[in-house]
Structure 1
Amino acid sequence: MPEEIISIEHVYFRYPGQDPYVLNDISLSVQKGEWLAIVGHNGSGKSTLAKMLNGLHYPEKGNVTVDQLPLSEETVWEIRKRIGMVFQNPDNQFVGTTVQDDVAFGLENSGVPQEIMAERVKDALERVNMLSFLDQEPHHLSGGQKQRVAVAGIIAIIPKVIILDEATSMLDPKGRQEVLETIRELKDKLGLTVISITHDLEEASRADRMIVLNKGEVFKKGKPIEIFQLEDELVELGLDIPFTIKMTKKLTQLGFNFPNTYITEEELVDALWTLHLNK
């Protein structure tokens, strides 16, 4: 049986002086080692939920448990050692004058000895292919490079869970692909659990499982291929369907006989090539 690392049970949350609830009776679980994408339009509650997982918000009602620790003011600092967050704008995360200073910041705050810190910084930057930028100033980097450095800063503290809170929304397609490929490699090599908070279904298509939020409630749960079958419903929620799903549908209407539905562009290209060879 998969091991549960995060449990959210009947959680309600609203901001002070506001109605209705931003999170309304939310229940879900996250399994150790999986990549879970939580998607929804602006205002669906997904970013509020991400902040709650890191103890930036507390539920008005219900329970949040992270790695068997119930979220409370007494446990929040222990929980934050287990969860690292990568935010939308990498410039807002940089505090060091060089790349290595920035990656070391979280370790310094945790009191990690200097010799161990130096090893962790280099190891983290090597894992995201940014070791050669050790002494560079962060503002000289591209958007994708900045986010990879931000990921390195999280990896260095050795979390069990990484939360990507709209972490690729400000990147160009190349930068987005670089960051997502880096996260996938780190997840597989280090056994990390990844939670991707996004409105971009192209990004969500890389996940093992998806949860769709709407108006603070869980609308649907399932594998990406299952969720994408709800095409019209997703569009009604203000979510755009991935390009590959749209293209597969158009090609099917033109007479292409695909045996499956494809999520990634690579899968679709391989399928087209196979159909060509079998003509």
Structure 2
Amino acid sequence: MDHKVLVSVDSLSFMYEDQQTKALDNVSFQIKEGEWVAIVGHNGSGKSTLAKLLNGLYFTKEGSIRIGDIVISEETVWDARKRVGMVFQNPDNQFVGTTVKDDVAFGLENNAIPREEMHKRVEAALEKVNMLSFLDQEPHHLSGGQKQRVAIAGVIALKPSIIVLDEATSMLDPQGRQEVLELIKELKQENMTVISITHDLDEAARADRIIIMNKGKVYQEGKPSEIFQLEKELIEIGLDIPFAIRLRSGLEAQGIQVDKITLTEEELVTELWTSHFKK
């Protein structure tokens, strides 16, 4: 099935007032409905600036961002934000309610959703992120992964077309990170369009497509299997290669051949035991 283009970034440039160089320089790409795209880069590459432009937190006169049929501007930003939900790095900074239920309901109240509909959406969103049993819990009692799942529920309840995760797993422990990544995978399977802004290539390896940012420009773009063949280039621009890729290279240096390109530890383990321990 050929999905329609949902996000179109065209010749986008942006410069902060106190800077001499552009944070973004002539950036163009498209994202289709139902895709999970990871936008990756080291600190200062422009990826977080791009996230804020996608959600209308910043505006620029150079280039454009189109969300469906809406070109983001100061005049259209509120319509655009109905289509783009944002989850930030620190879940503690996102909570405004005294309970999980109140927090997920906050955005719905601001959008004047009728009370009966609001209750249905809150429960449905929390059930989707496996947090319904925490409905009346105080947010500060939750783990990092649980807090981030509640933050995602608050976005899901608003029914956006796109969810943008700006370093949403970077402050989580391994378990919390795994919880959130599994949730992202489930949302994508339900045709949610996901844009994850991250410096973590282990996270990016799970996406359908990766856009590498470097010095405000699109450096490379492609499927994870294509991107990770550029191992040396990625290291040169300051990115950490996924553990599974590094381990595969180490094994091959020791004479242990791994025929299939593996992007995750699970894939590498499966490839090793199926190819080297056949009866």
Q: TM-score range by the shorter chain?
A: over 0.9
Whole-angstrom distance in 2 between the partners of 1:139 and 1:17: 37
Paired position in structure 2 for 1:212: 212
Whole-angstrom distance in 1 between the partners of 2:77 and 2:184: 25
Q: Which amino acid aligns with 2:82?
A: K
Secondary structure at the aligned position of 1:85 is classed as: strand
Q: Is the 8 A contact 1:14 1:60 kept in 2?
A: no
Whole-angstrom distance in 2 between the partners of 1:231 and 1:77: 41
Q: Which amino acid aligns with 1:171?
A: L
Whole-angstrom distance in 1 between the partners of 2:61 and 2:27: 12
Counting matched residue pairs gives 278
Whole-angstrom distance in 1 between the partners of 2:42 and 2:18: 23
Gapped regions of structure 1 (runs ≥ 5) = none
Q: How far apart are 1:207 and its partner, in Å?
A: 0.5
Paired position in structure 1 for 2:55: 54
Paired position in structure 2 for 1:195: 195
Secondary structure at the aligned position of 1:63 is classed as: strand
TM-score for both structures, normalised by structure 2: 0.98
Q: Which amino acid aligns with 1:212?
A: I
Residues 20-169 of structure 1: pairs in structure 2 closer than 5 A: 20-169=21-170
1:12 aligns with 2:16: no
Secondary structure at the aligned position of 1:230 is classed as: helix
Q: Which whole-Å deviations, capped at 9, do the CAs of 1:17-52 have from their partners, x for residues lacking one?
A: 422111101111111100000000100000000000
Percent of pairs with identical residues: 62
Secondary structure at the aligned position of 2:82 is classed as: helix
Whole-angstrom distance in 2 between the partners of 1:186 and 1:4: 18
Q: Is the 8 A contact 1:37 1:211 kept in 2?
A: yes
Secondary structure at the aligned position of 2:229 is classed as: coil
Gapped regions of structure 2 (runs ≥ 5) = none
1:173 aligns with 2:174: yes
Secondary structure at the aligned position of 1:229 is classed as: helix
Whole-angstrom distance in 2 between the partners of 1:17 and 1:48: 14
Q: Which amino acid aligns with 2:114?
A: P
Which one is further off, 228-237 or 76-85?
A: 228-237
RMSD: 1.0
Q: Where has structure 1 moved over 4 Å in runs of 4 or more?
A: none
Q: Which whole-Å deviations, capped at 9, do the CAs of 1:131-167 have from their partners, x for residues lacking one?
A: 0000000000000000000000000000100001000
Q: Which amino acid aligns with 1:131?
A: L
Whole-angstrom distance in 2 between the partners of 1:257 and 1:73: 55
